[in-house]
């Protein structure tokens, strides 16, 4: 059974845990850095990235997470995507700098700051519902980054190796295809690790 951590310092973690459980994996609410040990993957939920950074200042949590995301599958949604990005703008902000993307925080302004869109993506199974809440915009992606979905020509779901990021909230839709994709990445990573230890 896959063990998937959900960073539970603040923000939208409960619905992520429910999605993970619905797909048959074990969900662990991570509130301390020592809980990162032994996880097959981690979800960093939406919320407020500045608040996350403040919580992560304690107990060496930021450094532990920084080490973790270098080689363990991690999925950042919204504020979580901001934490994974190499470059954060509006305003410039500290991050884990694990994915070669530039994000602009709160990029849709007051009028359009929250919206639900349904669009085709590269995921099989037809159009995907995407819930945006004070979303950032991915304004640049590096060559290693694969774009899986877009909104108005800007990437909203991206993958770089073992890392996945969404600027929307897949945990708020009944469709679990994005979480299933992440669990597939985590499972592949786990079996590759088992093989290299054999
Ligand atoms: N606006 C938030 C930030 O900049 C992200 C919003 C979200 O996670 N829904 O951190």
* Nearest C-alpha neighbor of 121 from the set 73, 91, 164, 87: 164
| Whether residue 113 has pLDDT greater than 90 | no
**Which residue segment(s) compose the domain that 88 sits in?**
3-197
Is the CB of residue 42 less than 8 Å from the CB of residue 30?
Answer: yes
Pocket test for ligand 1, best of 79, 83, 85 (most atoms within 8 A of CB): 79
Does pLDDT of 173 surpass 90? yes
Amino acid 194: pLDDT? 81
Whether 57 is catalytic is no
Question: pLDDT grade, residue 83 (50/70/90)?
Answer: very high
Report yes or no on whether pTM surpasses 0.95: yes
Backbone angles phi, psi at 114, to 5 degrees: -135, 130
Reference 52, options 31, 75, 38; nearest CA is: 31
CATH number of the domain residue 174 falls in: 3.40.50.880
Q: Please give the tally of structural domains in the chain.
A: 1
Helix (H) or strand (E) holding 16: helix 13-22
* 53 pLDDT above the threshold of 90: yes
Calpha distance 124→110 (Å, rounded): 33
Contact 7, 13 (CB under 8 A): yes
At 116 the three-state DSSP class reads strand
As a whole number of angstroms, the distance between CA 157 and CA 136 comes to: 12
Ligand 1 pocket member 89 (CB < 6 A): no
78 noted as active-site residue: yes
Specify the pLDDT at position 197.
78
pLDDT category of residue 51 using cuts at 50, 70 and 90: very high
Residue whose CA lies nearest to ligand 1 atom number 5: 79
pLDDT higher than 90, residue 195: no
């Amino acid at each position: 059974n896959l063990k998937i951590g959900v960073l539970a310092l603040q923000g939208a973690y409960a619905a992520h845990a429910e999605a993970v459980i619905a797909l048959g994996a074990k969900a662990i609410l991570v509130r301390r850095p020592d809980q990162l040990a032994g996880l097959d993957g981690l979800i960093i939920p939406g919320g407020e990235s500045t608040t996350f950074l403040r919580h992560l200042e304690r107990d060496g949590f930021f450094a532990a997470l920084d080490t973790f995301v270098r080689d363990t599958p991690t999925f950042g949604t919204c504020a979580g995507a901001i934490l994974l990005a190499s470059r954060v703008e509006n305003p410039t902000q500290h991050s884990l700098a694990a994915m070669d993307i530039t994000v602009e925080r709160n990029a849709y302004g007051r009028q359009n700051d929250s919206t639900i869109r349904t669009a085709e993506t590269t995921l099989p199974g037809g159009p995907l519902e995407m819930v945006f809440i004070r979303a950032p915009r991915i304004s640049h992606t590096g060559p290693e980054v694969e774009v899986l979905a877009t909104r108005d020509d800007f990437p909203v779901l991206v993958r770089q190796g073992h890392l996945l990021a969404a600027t929307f909230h897949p945990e708020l839709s009944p469709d679990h295809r994005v979480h299933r994709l992440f669990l597939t990445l985590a499972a592949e990573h786990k079996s590759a690790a088992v093989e290299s230890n054999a």
